[in-house]
């Protein structure tokens, strides 16, 4: 199938670290070959004075940036913002981000999905009140309630006993740890494109041995970091014996249905979500986290996927502008997402 070429200028507004990882020469070259020009938004200048842009691709936060996007939208009503700040902000709270999972309805599947049992703790008094978390079984993972991409929001802890709860700093989410075979599935969503990959995760916790460590609380910034730490320190060679290639992937149709449901409910096009398989039930999957505009460069062939998405957006935008309807629609086989422009 021949690739179509659609002209368009996309301004990207990204933090330096995100820009360095995402905006690679390989992406710029491929996008340009399809008529898509990616232009850096100068953070030292008002957005409204830059461009013209057919689309603004962004991952910046704060009231000033939201104001700039609103002004830009007022001045250039036909421009597309990917994605809407209001939709992104839902993912900044670890409770609201997963509430959407309960709204999904996936039909005719033998596999089931949900989220781990979890509670939110807003203050120290509640944290130290046994009745507040009596429904949870240890170990639990403690995560900051705020998930805004900052270093602080990534500071998590695996907590084995209630004796160390006083070391935690509310507001936090306590999420029951579920054995999942030491493997996490990361599902990347780019518009209608869905890609699932597998990564090493936390080892299972047995009754006799708790991950091979003596501490009652282990801090980490990412699941993969703690996994690497344990790989160096475990005595039973857990990770040396485990082969990711031996781990069966979730059914692709099942993952795609969840991804499309989340995309529709969240009104987002660029995100990923982390899934684990509950070791107690072979067909039970738990969504534990959702992230906006993740590290797509870690996804094999991300340049082609993102470039095709940009072309799809530009095509629909052009078609709708010609029809004079003022809306841009990006379609999937069984779902349509509309962007107000």
Binding residues: 18, 59, 94, 143, 154, 175-186, 201, 274, 289, 291, 295
Residues annotated within the binding site for 1D-myo-inositol 1,3,4-trisphosphate are 18, 59, 154, 186, 291, 295
Backbone angles phi, psi at 309, to 5 degrees: -65, -45
Q: With beta carbons less than 8 A apart as the criterion, state whether 126 and 137 touch.
A: no
- Burial environment of residue 181 by CB neighbours within 10 A (0 to 12, 13 to 18, 19 or more): middle
Tokens 């008094």 identify what position? Answer: 125
Binding residues for Mg(2+), as ranges, are 274, 289, 291
Per the annotation, where are the binding residues for ATP?
94, 143, 175-186, 201
Write the burial class of residue 313 (CB in 10 Å: 0-12 exposed, 13-18 middle, 19+ buried): buried
Q: Of 99, 98, 94, nearest to 148 (Cα)?
A: 94
In sequence order, what DSSP letters do the residues of 121-169 get, joined into one string?
E-SHHHHT-GGGSTT--SSEEEEESB-SSSTGGG-EEEE--GGGGGG--
Report how far apart, in Å, the C-alpha atoms of 10 and of each of 28, 31, 187, 341 are.
11, 10, 25, 15
In 3-state terms, what secondary structure has residue 192? coil
Calculate helix-pair angle for 302-323, 25-33, nearest 10 degrees. 40
């Amino acid at each position: 199938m021949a690739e179509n070429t659609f002209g368009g200028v996309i301004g990207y507004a990204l933090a330096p670290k995100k820009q360095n990882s995402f905006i690679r020469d390989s992406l710029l070259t491929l996008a340009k070959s399809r008529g898509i020009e990616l232009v850096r938004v100068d953070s030292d200048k008002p957005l409204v004075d830059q461009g013209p842009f057919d689309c603004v691709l962004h991952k910046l936060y704060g009231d000033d940036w939201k104001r700039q996007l609103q002004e830009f939208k007022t001045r250039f009503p036909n421009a597309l913002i990917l994605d809407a700040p209001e939709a992104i902000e839902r993912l900044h709270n670890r409770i609201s981000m997963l509430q959407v999972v309960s709204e999904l309805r996936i039909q005719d599947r033998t596999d089931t999905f949900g989220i781990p049992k979890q509670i939110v703790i807003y203050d120290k008094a509640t944290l130290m009140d046994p009745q507040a978390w009596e429904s949870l079984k240890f170990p639990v993972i403690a995560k900051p309630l705020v998930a805004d991409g900052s270093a602080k929001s990534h500071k998590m802890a695996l907590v084995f006993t209630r004796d160390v709860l006083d070391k935690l700093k509310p507001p936090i989410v306590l999420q029951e740890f579920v054995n999942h075979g030491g493997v996490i599935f990361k599902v990347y969503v780019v518009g209608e494109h869905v890609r699932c990959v597998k990564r090493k995760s936390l080892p299972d916790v047995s009754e006799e041995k708790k991950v091979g460590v003596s501490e009652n609380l282990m801090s980490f910034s990412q699941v993969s970091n703690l996994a690497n730490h344990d790989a160096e320190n475990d005595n039973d060679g857990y990770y040396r014996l485990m082969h990711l290639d031996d781990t069966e992937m979730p059914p692709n149709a099942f993952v795609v249905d969840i991804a499309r449901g989340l995309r529709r409910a969240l009104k987002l096009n660029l995100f990923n979500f982390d899934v684990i398989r509950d070791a107690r039930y072979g067909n039970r999957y738990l969504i534990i986290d959702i992230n906006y505009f993740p590290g797509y460069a870690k996804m094999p062939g991300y340049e082609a996927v993102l470039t095709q998405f940009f072309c799809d957006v530009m095509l629909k935008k052009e078609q709708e502008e010609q029809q004079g309807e003022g809306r841009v629609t990006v379609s999937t086989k069984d779902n349509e997402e509309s962007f107000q422009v």
